[in-house]
Structure 1
Amino acid sequence: MDLVRKCQKCQVHANITHLPATPLQPIQSPCPFDQWGMDIVGKLPRAPGQREYLIVAVDYFSKWVEAEALSKITEKEVMKFAWKNIVCRFGIPRAFVMDNGTQFQGAKLRQWCEELKIKQYYTSVATPQSNGQTEVTNRIILQSLKTRLEEAKGNWVDELPGVLWAYRTTPRRSTRESPFSLVYGTEAVVPVEIGEETLRVQQYEPASNNSERRADLDLIQELRHSANARTTAYKAMMAKAYNSKVRHRGFQVGDLVLRRADATKNLGKLDAKWEGPYQVTEVIGSGTYKLHKMDGKEIPRTWNIANLKKYFA
């Protein structure tokens, strides 16, 4: 049995375990615009101006989304987007949650965040659930673009504002409120209310509008408190379901591990599912590790336990 367990070929071709190894730890955000998740989507069909990437930012509290089409994904473009679409519109946030892309890890971006006292949290490689809010938003945006475009794929930039508007004015499952209402304290007037006038449109009185808006603003904190309570309950429910499948395992500094091969490249049907071994050099916490090759060379970025398994030498 021990000889089989230590067989090199058996280990690198072994099936991948899909059961989670560590409990889900939902990211909490106490107020609007406190913490934003950021991500890059692409390549998309090339649009005018050579734009084929989409940078997306989501506020963890209100679920408000900002997005912009880019022709290139560089550190400079990320800084311009963050300044224009986040800081200048909603104030300086406490933190950004980003993936390990090079455009998010440059020295200039780090310095800029340090000057503004913005913390940077990075997700582990090939672990999209670490920035789950942004990943979910990306899927919704892409699905909406596909639905609108049909054959004219290169027109996605023109359709993007409408997709963002629809997302911002639609209640989200976790809060049961629209991002628009949590930001502005009232629901937006949407085109359908013009064609088929709603009670709100029919009863609009300019003379009483100011007092009604003041009442909305007086109630906005209550609205946000209720949304926060619902979000907390929703995340607890999701965590409970996820954690019921957890099969605890972990590594210590010095342990030898294999890494999922498909985390770094596309695999053929007969390729090995695992690569390595590597040595664990640091335990970051919450199932996240730093690795070295056997010759001592450091492996860039952090790696989640979902992409690792113990190697038997």
Structure 2
Amino acid sequence: MDSSLVNLSEMLNQTIAGQNKDDPVPSNEIITAPICMVKTRQQKDQNIWTPWEGGHSETELCKMQENDPDLGPLLKWKKSGQRPTKSDIQQNSAATRHYWHIWDSIVLINGLLYKNFSRRDGVEDHTQFLVPFLLKKEILENMHNSILSGHLGKKKTKAKLSQRYFWYEMREDIDIWISQCDICSANKHSHKSARAPLGTMPVGAPLDRLATDFLGPLPTTPRGNKFILTVTDYFTKWVEVFPVKDQTAVVCAQLILNEVICRFGSPLAIHSDQGRAYESQIFQELCQILEIRKTRTSPRNPKCNGQTERFNRSILSMIKSYLRGEQTNWDMNLGCLAGAYRASPNESTCLTPNILMLGREVRLPYDLLHKGHPLDPNEAETSWGNHALKIKERMQRAHCVARKHLEVTCKRRKDFYDNKTNLHVYKVSDKVWYRNEIKREGICPKLQPLFIGPCLVTQKINDLNYEIQIDAHTKKESCQS
């Protein structure tokens, strides 16, 4: 095997391409994306193939082993045929002492040191060349970086190297080499994604915070509806669903103003994703006029709006249960399904959204079984003033119970989630990889590098958010760990 194979491969690639041009310069428009730590090794040539077998004679290899501080003493002992005592090797390196412990498996072949290797399953026995220090980098480049090695992972590279070579702490050196390979870091998925501690957004009363989201697109109904606008109250778990034809800012603002705020009052905060409707000037002005604090999720992280996402899953499941094969009529029963959800106790509060928002349970069709008997027999004889006081006391007790249950549930979920946290805190001047989520016309996303970098951390906003600079010619970007 020699470098002519690479030359042939390059000639074929140039013939197929018809020309040899540099890749287009990437755009400076960067989308906020996660980052990860990098320890990189700059490579001048991605397709390296200079096999040492063809570049070094046996005499040169023998000379390298003789001059190696770890293999030199071993070669001398093997040539003399006498194994030194344990006390005689105490002054030698850890590598030499390791070779001394496997003395019986080391043999001399044509004046070179080899190690006999036997698989545990007995399938294959072979010899491994004992690699001197000067050849380690060259061998690692050939067995991992070359075009015939394919930049494979640690497991496959270790298996491939162990078929031919051996040196002290070889597996650790392979781990370090591959972890610092900039080509692998830019093009392979990370097996250990960052997982920050779970953040909480505590609430203590109705309308402290509303969450909203668009669900869809769904099959267009005869009434022209294609999406569902959902609104959820963080404290009471009260939900509202509206079938809509599109996701425009006007539709979103009108429904939330007329159907939610005008009925229940203005919330202190509204939480949403970064959809165009919620980031529009109309919606921002609505929040500004009503003094509503507008918050949003981080990019491509729907878990930040988990309450709405969970309700979206529930309402979809309920819709599918009553479609009966007619998918274009999904908007016919939305009001009934939302009412059923509001009349059911929530897992977090252990109370229904009705009792927490209205101060009473609504009368449902199956309550007709008790026709003529009100839910509260004493309520019929109560005056208007006493009724208002009772409603107020009932809601205060319900809210107190809900707050206790929410606190317990929040702590339990956080403790469970934080057991698997894996957050790396970066420092200014650290080099990191930046997830490449830029979509350019004519570039296939599946074939572009997964990460851009190494990038420089220029500012630490907090343990989760940083400001980085891709290179000296691009502007600084905010990103999330």
Instruction: Classify the TM-score, shorter chain.
Output: 0.7 to 0.9
Query: Structure 2 CA distance, aligned partners of 1:283 and 1:77?
Result: 39
- Which of 279, 302, 323 is residue 105 of structure 1 equivalent to? 279
* Structure 1 residues 184 and 197: alpha-carbon distance in aligned structure 2, compared to 1, 3 A threshold: same
Other structure's SS at 1:66 match: strand
TM-score normalised to structure 1 length: 0.83
Equivalent AA in structure 1 for residue 336 of structure 2: G
Which structure's residues are more often strand, by fraction? 1
- The answer (yes or no) to whether the contact 2:186–2:433 under 8 Å persists in 1 is no
Q: Which residue of 2 aligns with 1:224?
A: 399
- The answer (yes or no) to whether the contact 1:185–1:216 under 8 Å persists in 2 is yes
Q: Which residue of 2 aligns with 1:309?
A: none
Query: Structure 2 CA distance, aligned partners of 1:283 and 1:48?
Result: 52
Query: Structure 1 CA distance, aligned partners of 2:177 and 2:396?
Result: 64
Q: Which residue of 2 aligns with 1:67?
A: 241
The answer to whether structure 1 residue 236 and structure 2 residue 411 are counterparts is yes
Equivalent AA in structure 1 for residue 432 of structure 2: L
Query: Structure 2 CA distance, aligned partners of 1:238 and 1:36?
Result: 21
Q: Which 10-residue stretch deviates more, 61-70 or 106-115?
A: 106-115
The answer to whether structure 1 residue 249 and structure 2 residue 424 are counterparts is yes
Query: Structure 2 CA distance, aligned partners of 1:261 and 1:18?
Result: 19
**CA apart distance, 1:78:** 1.8
Other structure's SS at 2:321 match: helix
- Which of 65, 81, 90 is residue 264 of structure 2 equivalent to? 90
Q: Which 10-residue stretch deviates more, 126-135 or 243-252?
A: 243-252
The aligned runs of 1:271-286 (5 Å cut-off) are 274-277=450-453, 283-285=460-462
Equivalent AA in structure 2 for residue 221 of structure 1: Q
Q: Which residue of 1 aligns with 2:204?
A: 30
Query: Structure 2 CA distance, aligned partners of 1:233 and 1:263?
Result: 43
Other structure's SS at 1:117 match: coil
Query: Structure 2 CA distance, aligned partners of 1:202 and 1:120?
Result: 40
Q: Which residue of 2 aligns with 1:189?
A: 363
Query: Structure 1 CA distance, aligned partners of 2:239 and 2:208?
Result: 14
The answer to whether structure 1 residue 287 and structure 2 residue 464 are counterparts is yes
Equivalent AA in structure 2 for residue 187 of structure 1: E
The answer to whether structure 1 residue 215 and structure 2 residue 390 are counterparts is yes
Instruction: List alignment gaps of at least 5 residues for structure 1.
Output: 306-313
Flag the structure with larger Rg.
Answer: 2
Deviation string for 1:230-250 (max 9, x for gaps)? 011101000000001112213
Query: Structure 2 CA distance, aligned partners of 1:40 and 1:165?
Result: 19
Deviation string for 1:54-77 (max 9, x for gaps)? 111111000001121111111222
* Structure 1 residues 256 and 18: alpha-carbon distance in aligned structure 2, compared to 1, 3 A threshold: closer
Instruction: List alignment gaps of at least 5 residues for structure 2.
Output: 1-172
Other structure's SS at 1:49 match: coil
Query: Structure 2 CA distance, aligned partners of 1:249 and 1:16?
Result: 14
Deviation string for 1:19-55 (max 9, x for gaps)? 6521101211121011111111111111123211111
**CA apart distance, 1:290:** 5.6
Query: Structure 1 CA distance, aligned partners of 2:287 and 2:200?
Result: 24
Q: Which residue of 1 aligns with 2:435?
A: 259
The answer to whether structure 1 residue 140 and structure 2 residue 318 are counterparts is no
- Which of 335, 350, 358 is residue 176 of structure 1 equivalent to? 350
Q: Which 10-residue stretch deviates more, 167-176 or 203-212?
A: 203-212
Other structure's SS at 1:257 match: strand
Other structure's SS at 2:309 match: helix
- The answer (yes or no) to whether the contact 1:127–1:304 under 8 Å persists in 2 is no
